[in-house]
Structure 1
Amino acid sequence: MNKRNLLACVALAASAMLSSAHAEDAYPSRPIKLVVGVAPGATTDAAARLVAEVLSKNLGTTIVDNQPGANGTIAARNVARAKPDGYTLLAFYSDQMQVAPLVYKNAYDPLEDFAFITTTVRSGGFILAVPESSPAKTFAEFIDYAKSGKKQMNYGTYGVGSSVQLGFEIFNERYGTKMLHIPYKGGGPSYQAAVAGEVDIVAGTSFIELLKANRLRPLAIGGSQHSPEFPNIPTLAGQGFGELVFGPVFYGVAAPRGTPPEIIEKVRAAVAKGAQNPEFAARLKPIAHDPFIVGPAETAALVRKGLDTYRPVVQKLKISLDN
C-alpha cells in the first residue's frame, strides 16, 4: 500500500468514527420503537406504554410495538436480532428473561443477547389463594391438608412454563406434596376456576377484588413484603422460600447486545428522570405496581438470579416448548 492509499484509509476510518460519534450524540434523530411481548390491554402493556410516554417526554418520540406470543419470546428474539443502534428496544417482564429462555426451544440467551438498561416497575408479590370452600384457613393448614393425601390436590396457572408453575413445583419439592398442574389460557380463567372450586390453589397479583369479595381466601404472599390489603397473611420469605419464589414481577428495558454505552446511558437517564415524577407512581397505583429503578448491572444480576433459581426446576420437569 503506497502512502497516498494509506492516508486515504486513515481519513476514511477517522470519518467513520466521527460519523458514528455524531450519530450517538444526535440520538435519537427518529422515533424509537419499544417492543412489548404481550397484546394491548395487559398489565405489561400498560407499564410499557407508561415508559414510552416517559421516553417521549424526556428523550424522543417512542412508539409501542406489540408483538405477543410464546411468553414474550417472539418479541425478545426480534429485538435481540435488531440493529444495535438504540432505535429498537424491548420492554421486558421478568418471566420473559428468567423463565421463557429456559423452557422454549431456540429462544435466546438473556445475558448474552441483550444489553440491559434499567428496570422500570414492579408488582407486589404473588398472593396464594384458595377457594372459600377450602378447609384450609391458613397457610399452615393448607400445607397439612395437601400433605394428608385426603384428595388429589391441584393448582391452577396461566400456562405451562410460567414462573407460577415453577413456584408451585418448588412448593411440591419443599413440602413433599404432589399437587398436579392445571394450566389455563391466562390468569383470569385460572382465578375463576379457583372460585368455582375446580382447582385447590392459585397465585396471582390481579385478583384483589375477588379476595375482598370473599370469593377467594388469601393464605400467603411471595417475597418479603407484607400485603397492604392483607397484612396478616405470612410472607413466603418468612417461611424459608427465596425472594424469587412467587416474588414480585419486575419490568425493564433492554437493547440488542452491542448498543453503544452512550445510548444505553441516555435511555437509562430518561427513564430514571421520569420515574422521579410523582405522576409516574400515581399512574401505576390502579394496577397495584410501583416504580422500581436500578441500573444495567443490577438488572442483569436480577435476571441471572432468576435463571439460577428456575433452571434446576425446569430441568427436573423436562419442560421444553416450541415457540
Structure 2
Amino acid sequence: MLSRRTVLAGAAATLAAPLVKAATPLPEMLRIVMPFPAGGALDGLTRIFADAYQKVTGRTCIVDNRPGAATTIGAAEVSRAKPDGSVVLWTTGGHLTNGVLMKKLPYHPIEGFTPLSMVYTTYGFALLHRANGPFHSLADFIAAAKKQPGRFSYASAGNGNTTHVVGALFAKQAGIELIHVPYKGTPLTDLISGVVDVSFIAPSSVMQYIDAGKIRALAITGTQRADTLPNVPTFAELGMPDIDIPAWIGMLAPPNMSPDVLAALYAGVSKTLADPGFKARMVTFGNQVSGMPPQQFKAYLEKEFARYQRILPPLGIEMDS
C-alpha cells in the first residue's frame, strides 16, 4: 500500500505541473510596439501599463512607437516577429476595421497574430461639440444637419480609423450628409476652436477638456452610459442602436506562439491587470480593465471581424493598403 505521504507528494506534483508549464522562461525584456505617435493619451496609457508590468513581473518593459499607415507598420512588424515572448502589439478596435476596409494587408488581422488579451475597454465614443457652439443635444445637431446638407463637418483620427467609421455609421443612420475631415493625429484642438463641428472621441482621452468646459458631449456609443458622463445619453437610448464600434485596447503577439510561451506571457499580463495601482489609474481615465484571456479574446475578435465584414462595406470607405 502507498503511504499517505507518497500519495500527497504525487498529488502535489500533479497540481504543480501546470504551474511549471506556465513558468516557461521568457526573454529579459518585453517590447510593446505602439502603432501610434508618442505623446498622445493612448501612448501615455501604454506607458502606465509598461511601468506596472515591469514592477509586478521584474521584466524590463519598453514602449516602442511605430506609427504610420493607419497602424499597419507596427502591426506588420509584430506579425513577422519571433514568437518568443519578447514583443507584442498594443492595438485598438481599428485593427479589425483595417482588415475589412484595406484592400491589401501584409497580414491577416487575426490569423496573422496570436491573440494575447484585451487590456481594457472604454465606454465607447462620445460625439463631441465645442462648448460655446450652437448644439446642446443630438437632436439639435441632426436637425441642423438635415436643414443644411453638407454644411457641417466631423473630424476623425484618420481615414478608416474607428472614429471615422463611427461617424459614417452615425451619418448613415441619422440620414444626414456630413463632411469628413481626417487628421493624422487627434482633431481635438480644431474641435475646441471650431474649425470642425463635431468629432467622435473616447471619453477617457478628453475628460479634462469636458470638465474644463471646453467641449460638450452630445451622445455616446455603447450599451450603457459612462460613469464619467452620467448625464450623456447613449445613441441606443436615442433610437440609434446600430452606432456601435466598441472602444478597446488589446495585445497581440506574433503568430505561431507555443502554448507554453503564451501561458507565461499571459500570466504576466494578467498579474499586471490585477495590480491595484494599475487598476486605480485606469479608473481615473474612465477605463474598465478587462484581462480577457487568449482563447476568449480570439473568439471575440473573430465575432467582431465577421460583424464588420457585414456592416462596413456599405459605408463606402476605402483605405490605401
TM-score range, shorter chain: 0.7 to 0.9
TM superposition shift of 1:39: 2.8
- Sort the Cα spacing of 1:114 and 1:150 in 2 relative to 1 into closer, same or farther, 3 A: closer
TM-score normalised by structure 2 residue count = 0.82
Structure-2 change in CA distance of 1:305 and 1:149 (3 Å): farther
Counterparts of 1:169-248 in structure 2, within 5 Å, are: 169-187=168-186, 190-205=187-202, 206-242=205-241, 245=244, 247=246
Match of 1:258 in 2: 256
Distance in structure 1 (CA, Å) of the matches to 2:37 and 2:142: 36
Aligned counterpart, 2:160: 161
For normalisation by structure 1, the TM-score amounts to 0.81
Tell me the alpha carbon deviations over residues 61-86 of structure 1, each in whole angstroms, 9 at most, x when there is no partner: 33332222122211111111112222
Which stretch has the larger CA shift, 190-199 or 275-284? 190-199
What is the total number of aligned residue pairs between the two structures? 297
SS of 1:160's equivalent?
coil
Deviates more, 1:264-273 or 1:45-54: 45-54
**What's the counterpart of residue 4 of structure 1?**
none
Q: Match of 2:274?
A: 276
Q: Give percent identity, aligned residues only.
A: 27
Give the CA RMSD over aligned residues. Answer: 2.7
**In structure 1, distance between residues paired with 2:243 and 2:25:** 36
1:67 correspondence with 2:66: yes
How far apart, CA to CA, are the structure 2 residues paired with 1:298 and 1:219? 33
Question: How much has 1:154 moved relative to structure 2?
Answer: 1.7
Q: Which residue of 2 aligns with 1:40?
A: 38
Contact 2:83 2:257 in 1 (8 A): yes
Measure the CA separation in 2 of the matches of 1:23 and 1:276.
21
Higher helix share: 1
In the other structure, the counterpart of 1:78 is: 77
Which letter does structure 2 place at the counterpart of 1:301? A
Secondary structure of 1:119's counterpart equals strand
Q: Offset at 1:114?
A: 0.9
- CA–CA separation in structure 1 for the residues paired with 2:214 and 2:51: 36
Given that residues 22 and 263 in structure 2 are in contact (C-alpha distance below 8 angstroms), is that contact kept between their aligned partners in structure 1?
A: no
Task: Give the superposition deviation at 1:173.
Answer: 1.4
- Partner residue, 2:17: none
Match of 2:128 in 1: 129
In the TM superposition, residue 222 of structure 1 has moved relative to its aligned partner by 1.4
Q: Would the aligned equivalents of 2:116 and 2:252 in 1 still touch at CA under 8 Å?
A: yes
Instruction: Find the aligned partners of 1:162 and 1:118 in 2 and give their Cα distance.
Output: 21
